Amino acid sequence: MLEEILKNIVEMEEEEAVKKAKEYLDGGGDPQKLLEVCRDAMGEVGSRFEKGEYFLSELILGGEIFRQIMEFTLPKLQSGSVKKIGKIVLGTVKEDVHNIGKDIFKVFAEASGFEVIDIGIDTPEEKFVEAVKEHKPDIVGMSCLITAGVTSMKKTVDKLKEAGLRDSIKIIIGGGRVDESVKEFAGADAWADDAAKGVRLCKQLIGVEG
């Protein structure tokens, strides 16, 4: 059944995917496994997008299917009352309006026990600074899917330095346009190009082994 759900999501069969996911959980299925299948499906949607087989509309629809399934999966996952292991301020940087990667990461981070404060998309540097002052997180997560976002990441890190906040937090960047060189350029502590890896790195950054 999980295989079918994966295929439904990847093939953009929205109603089927959501219906089968509900049936799977109602039949006593494991919400964690369902989450992982959704993640794999979104990974495949992302890779088809990278290859030019899928376009932005598919990315958005894939994200919407994912969100619908998460609505009834997450409460089941969290009913095991996950202990909070740390706090993350999360946003998509200025110039970038993509929320899919950010939202998927948020789901995984919350499922792993992080408290996530989502400050949205196209987020100006000052908003990151304000959120860090207000929420005092352990980690700041920045997402970008477009090249223009890379400069925004650097500017945001610089603003956090100016505000004297850089040393009290760890910064992780993520999205389709990040790699080791972008991490160095922006002055971040870690980078990830998928949500699961991102959460694992976040745990390592604060000394909770993932």
What are the tens digits of pLDDT across the range 17-66? 999 999 999 999 999 899 889 878 877 887 787 788 988 788 778 888 98
3-state helix vs strand vs coil in the chain, percent to 5: 60, 15, 30
Using CA atoms, how far apart are residues 112 and 100, in angstroms rounded to an integer? 19
Q: Which of 76, 65, 99, 70 is nearest to 29 (CA)?
A: 76
pLDDT in tens, 160-184: 999 999 999 999 999 878 999 999 9
pLDDT in tens, 66-124: 889 988 988 887 655 456 899 999 999 999 888 878 887 887 787 677 999 999 999 99
Neighbour count for residue 106 (Cβ, 10 Å): 22
H helix and E strand count, the chain: 9, 5
Q: Is the pLDDT of residue 209 over 50?
A: yes
Return the SS3 of 32: helix
The yes/no answer on whether domain 1-76 falls in CATH 1.10.1240.10 is: yes
Domain ranges of the chain: 1-76, 86-206
Cβ proximity of 189 and 172 under 8 Å: yes
Cβ proximity of 24 and 36 under 8 Å: no
Residues in the chain: 210
Task: Please report which helix (H) or strand (E) contains residue 61, including its range.
Answer: helix 56-78
The yes/no answer on whether domain 86-206 falls in CATH 3.40.50.280 is: yes
DSSP state of 81: -
